[in-house]
Amino acid sequence: MIASDKNWKTPLGVYEKAIEELRNARTELSETQNNFLVTVQTLQTEIQTLKSQLCETQEKLETSEQIITETKSNLSQATEEIENLKVMLNEPQANTKIIQELAEIKAQISQLQTHIQQPEQPTTVRALSNLQLQLSQLTDELTLVSHASGMDYRNLQQLLSAQNWKDADKETYSIMLKISERENVCWLDDGDIRKFPRYDLHIINQLWVKYSDGKFGFSIQKQILQNHQQFTARCGWIENIAKNELIKYEDYNFTLDANRGHLPSTPRIVGLGLRNTNEITHRLNIFYSRY
């Protein structure tokens, strides 16, 4: 029996009141305990989630650090290899080996790019970009060193890029005589022309065509020869049409205003000089057949 409000001051009423309060307190405590357990379970779940995320983050970090370490090592190695190739570039006999080395470095850079994410590693990405630029420049330079003759065409390339047509023509003349070992004779005969490396003719022609925007070059001259009977006149090599004589070298036009195919001065290279143009067809046909 629960004591009424009137009897709460009696000993029995006091005990009953106390028991009621204890029951209420027990109920509240039980509810609080249940709420606490729910909160603890929620926190434990969140803690496990955080631990799992932390573990994944650590694994990613370790993987990223490993990739960065490997990338830096490969980057350093590739940079060192490029420096070595730059030295080798001045050794014509190493040309074939350089080509193989370049292919290997290109493959290495391609692999590095697949492991690097630009937002995460901007420094490494910049280093890779710089490495690619060096590789591109080295590849361009490599094409200017002939594996057939060992001749270095970088000076000719610089003269043509500066549109220094006269010095470029002299350089072309000098190079071709040197390759043929005809520097003392100063011109190439039929035998020299037939033995001249096609690869070198290709390099010389490509440089002339590139920097003259398709106006000069052996291939341009060959096109004119195939399409026009008055070949020498079309190229601007005739001094006097009536006399049918070739112009002197000092009268060549070393500007872009010259006739299409005017340069290089092929008649000078093949030793025609001031000879009658009737003699030019045979020699030039041999020459252009090499290209």
Distance of CA 77 to the CA centre of its chain: 17
**Threshold 0.85, pTM exceeds:** no
* CATH for 120: 1.20.58
- Structure token digits, residue 135: 């590789």
Q: Please state, in angstroms and rounded to a whole number, the distance separating the CA atoms of residues 116 and 2.
A: 79
Which of 142, 164, 196 is a domain's end point?
Answer: 142
Q: Are residues 189 and 80 in the same domain?
A: no
Contacts (Cβ under 8 Å, ≥6 apart) of 224: 231, 234, 235, 260, 261
Q: Are residues 65 and 179 in the same domain?
A: no
Q: Are residues 127 and 36 in the same domain?
A: yes
Contacts (Cβ under 8 Å, ≥6 apart) of 68: 121, 124
Q: Please state, in angstroms and rounded to a whole number, the distance separating the CA atoms of residues 291 and 278.
A: 22
Residue 6 lies in a domain: no
Per the structure, the count of domains in the chain is 2
- Structure token digits, residue 12: 């029995």
Q: Are residues 75 and 170 in the same domain?
A: no
Which candidate, 47, 51, 43, 104, places its Cα nearest to that of 77? Answer: 104
Per-residue pLDDT of the chain (291 residues; tens, 9 = 90+): 444 455 545 667 777 777 787 777 777 777 777 776 777 687 778 777 777 777 777 777 677 677 767 767 766 776 776 666 666 555 545 555 666 666 666 666 666 656 555 445 666 666 666 666 666 666 666 678 888 888 999 999 999 999 999 999 999 999 999 999 999 989 999 999 999 999 899 999 999 999 999 999 999 999 998 876 688 889 998 887 666 778 889 999 999 999 999 999 999 999 876 455 566 778 888 898 887
Do 245 and 232 meet the contact criterion of CB atoms below 8 Å apart? no
Q: Are residues 20 and 138 in the same domain?
A: yes
Query: Domain range holding 55?
Result: 11-142
SS3 of residue 67 by DSSP? helix
Q: Are residues 250 and 191 in the same domain?
A: yes
Neighbours of 290 (CB within 10 A): 15
Q: Are residues 187 and 68 in the same domain?
A: no
Which of 79, 109, 142 is a domain's end point?
Answer: 142
Which of 90, 121, 142 is a domain's end point?
Answer: 142
CA distances, 244 to each of 236, 241, 247, 259, 277 (Å)? 12, 5, 10, 17, 6
Residue 35 lies in a domain: yes
